[in-house]
Amino acid sequence: MKKIKDYFQLIKLSLSIMVVFSSVISFMLTPGYEAYQDKLFRILMLFIGGMLVTGSANAINQVVEKDTDAKMKRTAKRPVAAGRMSVIEGQVFAVVAGLLGVFILGHYFNWLAAGLATFSLFLYAFIYTPLKKINSIAVLVGAVPGALPCLIGWAAGENALSVGGWVLFAFQFFWQFPHFWAIAWVAHKDYSTAGFKLLPAEEGPNKFTAIQTILYSLVLVPITLLPFFIGMSSYKDMVGSIALVLIGLANVFMIARCIRLYIKMDVAAARQVMFGSYMYLPVVMLALLLSKV
């Protein structure tokens, strides 16, 4: 049982589920999704494949950062950092999980989706992870593999990178900035101890960082409305109208939390932005699914 818990920690289970959730919803939003006769099976395969690839990337991350994880209170109990799992075991898991996940995506969907998953894994594990100690541009770089699950899901349904997939990619890409900066604000002392440079200002949490969260939350407003203009979603029936209202309220909610951070300038307000962003993402994604044309 302890070993199972260690593997759940290795793959960052809750984070992986959230990542794969966006991929599955993106898959269900594609016009090609309707052509599948075995929809539930395909969703299951996308979930399993996505979890394996994401878990592989997270495992590599923990192997590479085992020493810095050991220095931080929030990560010191991770299996590799704590010594409960060897580096070799973590590496073997990462290789097996990554290869199996990519194979599942390629075999049950298409090799475009599998290729995007491979690129995402590489970018997260081998570019973003070491870059965190060099420059705060790591957040920008990390936002790409963080948003690629949307394109992977879209490619799985369409075998193409059409405009709808790019809109979903843009949504998750820009969402990550207020989300991640809030996390970096809350964990600033830990991150500084480990040598991570993740906030937009070198001085640490300040007004500039808070303003950035507001600006990126405002950018999300037109992006979340784009699906209604490109024909992905419709507001012309009652369900679509409700979905549009939900998206509008979610945007107001997110912007208000970021403004509160600017006013309060404390960890409690940053934590509210962090947890608020966790709620915001699934609400918008599910609203888009409800309003799908």
Confidence of residue 97 (pLDDT cuts 50, 70, 90): very high
Q: ∠ CA 275-278-282 to the nearest 5 degrees? A: 150
Q: How large a percentage of the chain has pLDDT more than 90?
A: 81
Report the SS3 class of residue 197: coil
Confidence of residue 69 (pLDDT cuts 50, 70, 90): confident
Tokens 């990519």 belong to residue: 102
Class of domain 1-161: mainly alpha
292 has which bridge partners?
A: 233
204 has pLDDT over 90:
no
Query: Which residues make up the CATH 1.20.120 domain(s) of the chain?
Result: 162-293
Q: ∠ CA 24-25-27 to the nearest 5 degrees? A: 65
What was the pLDDT predicted at 193?
A: 81
Range of weakest confidence among 36-40, 125-129, 192-196, 225-229: 192-196
Architecture of domain 162-293: Up-down Bundle (1.20)
**In this predicted model, what pLDDT tens digit does every residue of 238-274 receive, in sequence order?**
999 999 999 999 999 999 999 999 999 999 999 999 9
What was the pLDDT predicted at 124?
A: 95
**In this predicted model, what pLDDT tens digit does every residue of 215-225 receive, in sequence order?**
999 999 999 99
The candidate with the shortest Cα–Cα distance to 264, out of 210, 214, 217, is: 210
Q: State how far the Cα of 30 lies from the Cα of 270, in Å rounded to an integer.
A: 35
What was the pLDDT predicted at 57?
A: 96
Query: Which residues make up the CATH 1.10.357.140 domain(s) of the chain?
Result: 1-161
pTM equals: 0.94
**In this predicted model, what pLDDT tens digit does every residue of 188-203 receive, in sequence order?**
888 888 788 788 877 7
The candidate with the shortest Cα–Cα distance to 186, out of 269, 248, 255, is: 269
H-only helix segments in the chain = 2-10, 13-29, 39-64, 66-71, 79-82, 87-108, 111-122, 129-131, 138-158, 163-186, 188-194, 207-229, 238-264, 267-290
What was the pLDDT predicted at 52?
A: 97
